[in-house]
Structure 1
Amino acid sequence: MVRFEREEEYLAALTGGPWRAFGSYLMVRAWSPEFDPLKDNIATTPVWIRLTNIPVNFYHRSILMGIAKGLGKPIRVDPTTLNFERARFARICVEVNLAKPLKGTVLINGDRYFVSYEGLTEICSKCGVYGHLVHGCPRTIANEWPFQ
């Protein structure tokens, strides 16, 4: 829990992310009296996504935010992307639901492009859910269980 003396600092911390600490995303939310850190389950988190090798004519805020809607709730586009400083990938901050499968590709005008999620290393290639890898996937384990 953090207390701010100036409202500008509070708003910058609340809306300026996503923030990372020690290689993990830091979830920032406004305080509410009902919040219990031991009981609250955080299902959504902001994450930077990378769209690899998309054509540069898609490097406009409105187009990238529209594409990002298919991956979660778009938050903002990286200024480096908008300034065409990097042409290998476009970078967009999206709030994703970690309890639902994450998409590994996105279809744009009939062409499929890869999506990577910065900082999310445990995404299952079988079910797409964050938090385990394919060898520990509940679906795989359920299918291998001999006493069904």
Structure 2
Amino acid sequence: MIRFEREDEYLAALIGGPCRAFGSYLMVRAWSPEFDPLRDDIVTTPVWIKLANIRVNFYHHLILMGIAKGLGTPIGVDLTTLNVERARFARICVEVNLAKPLKGTVLINGERYFVAYEGLSNICSKCGIYGHMVHGCPRTIAERVANLDI
């Protein structure tokens, strides 16, 4: 939680979109009396995604932001990507909903590319939901229980 000294700084942070802090994006939301940091779940978060081996002609801000729309709410593109200083992968910041399945691939002009989510290691390969792995997936457990009943 952050308290601003001046109202204009608060409004700039709230309305101006995500801020950058130490190389990462920071989402600012207005405080409400109902907010309880011990009980409220974080449903959305900004995350850097990597699209490996995409063609260099896609390394344009508008194109990459359009691709990112299929993965969440686009926030920004890495400057190294925009300057084509590293052509192995494109890096885009996207706000994702952690309560919904995350996409493992994206289709661009008929070609499928893998999506890597930086900092999100607990993504289930079965259901795509963040927070558990396939062996702890509710779907996997339900299937095991169903197979035992047979």
The alpha carbon displacement at 1:30 in A equals 2.7
1:68 is aligned to 2:68: yes
Change (3 A) 1:115 1:53: same
Match of 1:75, SS state, is strand
Task: String of CA shifts for 1:62-91, please: whole Å, max 9, x gaps.
Answer: 100100010011111111111111111111
Normalised by the length of structure 1, the TM-score is 0.85
| Partner of residue 11, structure 1 | 13
Normalised by the length of structure 2, the TM-score is 0.84
The alpha carbon displacement at 1:20 in A equals 8.3
| Partner of residue 82, structure 2 | 82
Task: String of CA shifts for 1:37-86, please: whole Å, max 9, x gaps.
Answer: 23322211110101111001001111001000100111111111111111
C-alpha root-mean-square deviation of aligned residues, in Å? 2.6
Equivalence map 1:30-109=2 (5 Å): 30-109=30-109
State the alpha-carbon separation in 2 of the partners of residues 88 and 78 from structure 1.
13
Q: Percent identity?
A: 73
For the Cα contact (< 8 Å) 2:18–2:27, is it kept in 1? no
Question: Quick check: which has more Rg, 1 or 2?
Answer: 2
Which sections of structure 2, spanning at least 5 residues, go unmatched?
Answer: none
Report how many aligned residue pairs link the two structures.
145
Q: What stretches of structure 1 move > 3 A for 4+ residues in a row?
A: 6-10, 17-21, 25-28
